[in-house]
């Protein structure tokens, strides 16, 4: 009889549980219901129409069953909910979009009004719509794992939180803490999120569900520590001053290029002044409007391009990568140490080879400093930091290389030195080990020729600083085999990087299009154009920093070397002003030396001041007046022209790759969608006309590429460059329009 009673009880519980496609529920002995989220066929949970409908059904089920408490949890490995399903959202028509947003807001309001306590158990990323679900709950608990991202990243794709996030987060943690997180779309690791009150508890991953149940049973009162400013913001006129100041600062930073930013501030203002419902209405209407903006279209496109890049790489390389367990890095300078850190963080054992004990100790110091910063930011724990650090084995001996699956060279930019290293590696490494160079400007082909097995030599061009820059160029020579390239690309992916495949050519892709921009900025400075004004113009246009700020960041010594080594091999060759050599002789190396184009103060927060002496040294011509539009054209058009040459020379596979690489490698105005997308928004016919005018006035460096002339004359997009050579070519007069007009006159 007892067994029969148990079976009946099990049947009763089973009958009261939901078994839907994306949602399932279970009830434990304490009458705590768990709502399990598991979107089939996907590695992460995202909220689409089906899941929203089923979650609505689950909440109705909760309202009927009246459990003691509700846990929202995920069946996915290390993922709670990554946000809304952007593939579905992007395809929605305006009316359907409004309905979708309204249904989500109403659902989350129902969750917030449930009579029993609710908790979200974050076993992994909790972003966007997932975080908004968490904000609607009573409690939030997360696994203690620094790789978990918690936040509202919607502004990064040109939109804003649409299910109450913009309304609820400021009321939970205060306006001054919430606004930067929403405006920047910045996710936080669990410990940082707890510190500011976004979540309530951080526990060991294996104790996550137990902690969630404990919170529901004990129903603790959470005391959140608000800043004095946020407490003051509860008073209307003080709140208005705080929000107005935030709006002014936001416009100064974004120059009005990101419409979502000002919309977020307006929603927060309305939610506090007019109430919850008014905030939700403003949120819903703003998101609908933002979906139709070019900024949203471009930012969302970049998101999808990044998702597709792995598939594109696999299509280009018909080979599976080899497994990499052990790697070596030759050289532990800024780049080498950054690469070694990234490899070790990816779980790969690293042998770090330096010239002497002092250099090896300095390399370890750089790695230790990066790890300390990551511990401080909450990305990793102290214990994880020790494990990562212990994976790096420094040495001054060329031993142990026979165990390595890949070796990455990161020494000084000297071809003789690099050829010597590759000759050594060829003899010391296994025949199947991949040999890679991190060079930014030298020929991989020439290095490969120093080996007996050039098929295994590739380029792996990381960007500085390695821990922060998301792009890696995988460089292919005519001799590189697909297995070596696929292995190199897979290592970059394990390091969390976006890898693009590029043919070996001067400057590869990113530096190839960057060099004309930097050189033209120097030429403008020679003509007397103001350095700070040029930097400001380009920041207003959408660059993260101006050309001279960038050169100071790179270092004038490195910048000069790259400009000369690549510029000399471009058509036509690009000249670096002699004043740069004078600057180097004075040890004006940029930010790292304290003086470059600007004088950088050691005092935190103090703005750099123009180095007037270098600015005067640069002026070598009769000063000319330049309009902002002329400066924009002279800096940007050579980049576009070079991008077309890159495509026509088959250096990369598509305009989309150039867009992705320029955004993630250069920080090129993301809201414009990348270099080629920006060019298409202008129109190739207009670009051609402007280049012709500049070529007539300033000479051959502005001469339009043959492919660009064809694109312009046929009003085609940059993506059509690949069709240029295959198209029947009428006789195209390659002289600029202005020259043709001049010849007719004479």
The tens digit of pLDDT for each residue in 115-146 reads 999 999 999 999 999 999 999 999 999 999 99
The answer to whether residue 240 is catalytic is no
What is residue 225's predicted lDDT score, i.e. its pLDDT? 84
Asked if 205 and 123 touch (Cβ cutoff 8 Å), the reply is yes
**pLDDT average, residue stretch 600-615:** 92
Q: Taking Cα atoms as reference points, which of 61, 49, 152, 62 lies closest to residue 101? A: 49
What is residue 726's predicted lDDT score, i.e. its pLDDT? 60
Of the pLDDT bands very low, low, confident and very high (cuts 50, 70, 90), residue 705 is very high
Query: At residue 371, what are phi and psi to the nearest 5 degrees?
Result: -65, -40
Of the pLDDT bands very low, low, confident and very high (cuts 50, 70, 90), residue 733 is very low
Length, in residues, of the chain: 746
Of the pLDDT bands very low, low, confident and very high (cuts 50, 70, 90), residue 730 is very low
Which residue among the candidates 272, 341, 461, 626 is catalytic per the annotation?
Answer: 461
Of the pLDDT bands very low, low, confident and very high (cuts 50, 70, 90), residue 728 is low
406: number of CA atoms within 13 Å, CB side?
27
What is residue 722's predicted lDDT score, i.e. its pLDDT? 87
What is residue 366's predicted lDDT score, i.e. its pLDDT? 97
Of the pLDDT bands very low, low, confident and very high (cuts 50, 70, 90), residue 727 is low
What is residue 739's predicted lDDT score, i.e. its pLDDT? 39
What is residue 591's predicted lDDT score, i.e. its pLDDT? 93
**pLDDT average, residue stretch 212-237:** 88
**pLDDT average, residue stretch 603-629:** 91
Considering only residues 115 and 309, tell me which one the structure prediction assigns the higher pLDDT.
Answer: 115
- Range 644-666 burial, b when 16+ CB lie within 10 A, else e: bbbbbeebbbbbbbbbbbbbbbb
Question: CA torsion angle for 245, 250, 251, 254 (degrees, to 10)?
Answer: 170
What is residue 223's predicted lDDT score, i.e. its pLDDT? 85
**pLDDT average, residue stretch 467-486:** 97
What is residue 191's predicted lDDT score, i.e. its pLDDT? 95
Domains and CATH numbers, the chain: 2-290 (3.90.226.10), 323-504 (3.40.50.720), 511-634 (1.10.1040.50)
pLDDT above 50: residue 181: yes
pLDDT, one tens digit per residue, over 75-96 is 998 899 999 999 999 898 888 9
Q: Which 3-state string (H, E, C) describes 325-388?
A: CEEEEECCCHHHHHHHHHHHHCCCEEEEECCCHHHHHHHHHHHHHHHHHHHHCCCCCHHHHHHH
pLDDT above 90: residue 621: no
pLDDT above 60: residue 1: no
Q: Taking Cα atoms as reference points, which of 90, 52, 55 lies closest to residue 287? A: 90
Helix (H) or strand (E) holding 140: strand 139-143
pTM over 0.75: yes
User: How does DSSP classify residue 722?
Assistant: G
What is residue 7's predicted lDDT score, i.e. its pLDDT? 38
Q: Taking Cα atoms as reference points, which of 581, 615, 586 lies closest to residue 598? A: 615
């Amino acid at each position: 009889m007892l067994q029969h009673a148990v079976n009946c009880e099990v049947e009763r519980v089973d009958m009261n549980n939901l078994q839907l496609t994306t949602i399932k529920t279970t009830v434990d002995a304490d009458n705590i219901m768990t709502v399990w989220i598991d979107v089939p066929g996907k590695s992460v949970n995202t909220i689409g129409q089906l899941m929203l409908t089923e979650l609505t059904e689950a909440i109705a089920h909760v309202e009927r069953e009246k459990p003691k408490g509700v846990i929202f949890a995920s069946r996915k490995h290390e993922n709670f909910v990554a946000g809304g399903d952007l593939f579905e959202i992007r395809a929605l028509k305006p009316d359907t979009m409004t309905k979708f947003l309204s249904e989500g807001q109403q659902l989350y309001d129902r969750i917030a009004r449930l009579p029993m306590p609710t908790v979200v158990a974050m076993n992994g990323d909790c972003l966007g719509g997932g975080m908004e679900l968490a904000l609607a709950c009573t409690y939030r608990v997360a696994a203690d794992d620094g790789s978990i991202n918690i936040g509202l990243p919607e502004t990064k794709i040109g939109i804003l939180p649409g299910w109450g996030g913009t309304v609820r987060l400021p009321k939970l943690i205060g306006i001054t803490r919430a606004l930067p997180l929403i405006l920047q779309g910045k996710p936080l690791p669990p410990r940082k999120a707890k510190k500011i009150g976004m979540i309530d508890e951080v526990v060991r991953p294996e104790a996550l569900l137990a902690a969630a149940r404990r919170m529901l049973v004990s129903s603790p009162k959470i005391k959140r520590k608000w800043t004095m400013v946020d407490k003051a913001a509860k008073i209307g006129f003080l709140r208005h001053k705080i929000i107005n100041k935030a709006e002014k600062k936001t416009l100064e930073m974004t120059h009005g290029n990101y419409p979502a930013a000002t919309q977020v501030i307006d929603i927060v203002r309305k939610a506090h002044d007019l109430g919850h419902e008014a905030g939700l209405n403003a949120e819903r209407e703003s998101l609908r409007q933002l979906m139709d903006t070019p900024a949203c279209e471009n930012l969302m496109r970049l998101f999808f391009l990044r998702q597709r890049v792995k598939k594109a790489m696999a299509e280009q390389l018909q080979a599976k990568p080899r497994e990499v367990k052990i790697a070596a890095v030759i050289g532990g300078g800024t780049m080498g140490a950054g690469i070694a850190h990234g490899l070790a963080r990816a779980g790969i054992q690293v042998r770090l080879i330096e010239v002497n004990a002092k250099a090896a100790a300095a390399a370890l110091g750089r790695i230790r400093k990066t790890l300390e910063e990551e511990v401080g930011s909450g990305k990793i724990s102290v214990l994880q930091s020790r494990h990562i650090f212990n994976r790096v084995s420094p040495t001054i001996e060329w031993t142990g290389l026979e165990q390595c699956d890949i070796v990455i060279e990161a020494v000084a930019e000297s071809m003789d030195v690099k050829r010597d290293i590759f000759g050594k590696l060829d003899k010391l490494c296994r025949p199947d080990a991949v040999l890679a160079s991190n060079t930014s400007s030298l020929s991989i082909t020439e290095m490969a020729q120093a080996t007996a097995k050039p098929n295994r030599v590739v380029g792996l061009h990381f960007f500085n600083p390695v821990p922060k820059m998301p792009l890696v160029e995988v460089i292919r020579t005519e001799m590189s085999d697909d297995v070596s390239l696929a292995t190199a690309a897979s290592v970059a992916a394990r390091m969390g990087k976006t890898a693009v495949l590029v043919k070996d050519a001067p400057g590869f892709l990113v530096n190839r299009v960057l060099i004309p921009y930097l050189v033209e900025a120097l030429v403008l400075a020679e003509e007397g154009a103001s350095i700070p004004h040029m930097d400001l113009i380009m920041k207003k246009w959408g660059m993260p920093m101006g050309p001279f700020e960038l050169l100071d960041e790179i270092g004038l010594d490195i910048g000069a070397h790259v400009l000369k080594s690549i510029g000399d091999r471009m058509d036509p060759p690009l000249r670096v002003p002699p004043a740069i050599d004078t600057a180097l002789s004075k040890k004006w190396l940029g930010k790292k030396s304290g003086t470059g184009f600007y004088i950088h103060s050691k005092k935190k927060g103090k703005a750099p001041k123009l180095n007037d002496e270098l600015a005067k040294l640069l002026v070598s011509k009769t000063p000319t007046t330049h309009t902002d539009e002329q400066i924009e054209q002279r800096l940007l058009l050579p980049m576009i022209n070079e991008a077309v040459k890159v495509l026509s020379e088959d250096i990369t596979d598509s305009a989309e790759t150039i867009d992705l690489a320029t955004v993630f490698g250069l920080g090129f105005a993301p809201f414009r969608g990348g270099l080629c997308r920006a060019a298409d928004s202008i129109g190739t016919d207009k670009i051609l006309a402007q280049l012709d005018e500049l070529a007539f006035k300033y000479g051959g460096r502005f001469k339009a590429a043959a492919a660009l002339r064809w694109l312009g004359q046929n009003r085609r997009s940059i993506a059509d460059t690949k069709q240029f050579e295959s198209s029947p070519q009428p006789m195209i007069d390659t002289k600029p329009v202005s020259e043709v007009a001049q010849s007719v006159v004479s």
